[in-house]
Amino acid sequence: MTAKIIDGKAVAKRMRAEIAEDVKKLQEQYGVTPGLATVLVGDNPASQSYVRMKQRACEKVGITSFGHKLPADASQEEVEALVRQLNEDPNVHGILVQLPLPKHLDEERVLSLISLHKDVDGFHPINIGRLAMKGREPLFIPCTPYGAMVLLKEAGAQIEGANAVVLGRSNIVGMPMAMLLIHANATVTVCHSRTRDLPAVTRQADILIAAVGRPEMVKADWVKPGAYVIDVGSNKVDDPSSEKGYRWVGDVAFDEVKEVAGAITPSPGGVGPMTITMLLKNTLRGAEMVARGEV
Ligand code: GUN
């Protein structure tokens, strides 16, 4: 049996059209245009490219983007001063500090300075703390795991009561993903580099989330027949046969796993387009909260 392919690109396209509509409605009703401020420190090429993609995506749905760049040797004080200024700016409804920050900067201090109601990445310690607590809700959900949850629901996964296994425990994906699945009443196992007999653990998963950053690590015999497999990985690998000399692959060996799984996201074309979509949705939500006087 070949798995159902979960088309993240198509879901993202549909959601972005809905977001564009809602942006228009917000302008008509309240005269408010959502604004996203991006903060890029240094010249990491991957970060530059992500930020550019985020800015372009904003423009396409009518969200104003305010790009801020600081040099790689910017001081902690400079970064903090910029965040404070953006917190005060009424045209900015979301603040995104692109990670990773250069090593000399204190990431936690920067993230905890962002106003809770502008924390569209959902990385503020209070938003993460709320996500970790039973019966509490964060103001914003981190974008990548949020997008992965949307795709699981789109694919018709029964999350409640399912055995979910998350490969990876990063602050950006693995940990918040595990917490979201717990909120949705799954039974969750988080695996990492010290986990013993990984394939035996992942084979128990009705829902398997791969977020480790290892090209095509998850093989067919790691996967329970019929499982929902969400591949968060995006890895650049050498490929002399391609024109560019490289290609992008996920953390899952797609061609073999699709013969076992019930549903699977490709990478590229799965979770990737959803991450930015959820950022747009969070920014719209930030602007709606301000327009309706909720914050
Ligand atoms: N770096 C990698 N992913 C992300 C993300 O989702 N948000 C931010 N701010 N930085 C990132």
In-domain check, residue 131: no
In-domain check, residue 58: yes
Are 259 and 175 in a shared domain? yes
Distance 288 CA to ligand 1 centre (A): 23
The pLDDT, as a whole number, for residue 35 is: 99
Are 91 and 166 in a shared domain? no
pLDDT tens sequence across 125-152: 999 999 999 999 999 999 999 999 999 9
In-domain check, residue 123: no
In-domain check, residue 130: no
Residue with CA closest to ligand 1 atom 1: 99
- According to DSSP, the β-strands at 163-167 and 207-210 are parallel
Question: Which tokens hold the place of 220?
Answer: 């067919």
**Which pTM does this prediction carry?**
0.97
Q: Is 265 in the pocket of ligand 1 (CB under 6 A)?
A: no
Are 95 and 147 in a shared domain? no
**Tell me, what CATH number does 195's domain have?**
3.40.50.720
Last residue of a domain, which of 70, 95, 115? 115
Are 165 and 267 in a shared domain? yes
Are 98 and 158 in a shared domain? no
CB 86 within 8 A of CB 37: yes
Are 151 and 256 in a shared domain? yes
The pLDDT, as a whole number, for residue 288 is: 98
Write the single-letter amino acid at 157: A
Pocket test for ligand 1, best of 40, 54, 99, 141 (most atoms within 8 A of CB): 99
Q: Which residues contact 240 (CB under 8 A, 6 or more apart)?
A: none
In-domain check, residue 290: no
Are 105 and 154 in a shared domain? no
Task: Please give the average pLDDT of every successive group of 10 residues along the chain, which has 295 residues.
Answer: 95 98 98 98 96 98 98 98 98 98 98 98 97 96 98 98 98 98 98 97 98 98 98 97 97 98 98 98 98 95
In-domain check, residue 161: yes
In-domain check, residue 84: yes
CB 271 within 8 A of CB 129: no
Q: Which domain holds residue 211?
A: 143-273
In-domain check, residue 164: yes
Are 168 and 220 in a shared domain? yes
Distance 206 CA to ligand 1 centre (A): 27
Are 207 and 95 in a shared domain? no
| Residue-by-residue DSSP string for 77-121 | HHHHHHHHHHHH-TT--EEEE-SSPPTTS-HHHHHHHS-GGG-TT
The closest of 129, 53, 131, 43 to 96, measured between CA atoms, is 53
Last residue of a domain, which of 79, 99, 115? 115
The closest of 107, 113, 51, 108 to 85, measured between CA atoms, is 113
Q: Dihedral, CA atoms, 164, 168, 172, 176, nearest 10 degrees?
A: 30
Residue with CA closest to ligand 1 atom 4: 99
Task: Tell me what the pLDDT averaged over the chain comes to.
Answer: 98
Number of structural domains in the chain: 2
Q: Which ligand 1 atom sits closest to the C-alpha of 143? A: 6
pLDDT tens sequence across 163-178: 999 999 999 999 999 9
Pocket test for ligand 1, best of 50, 120, 279 (most atoms within 8 A of CB): 50
**Tell me, what CATH number does 68's domain have?**
3.40.50.10860
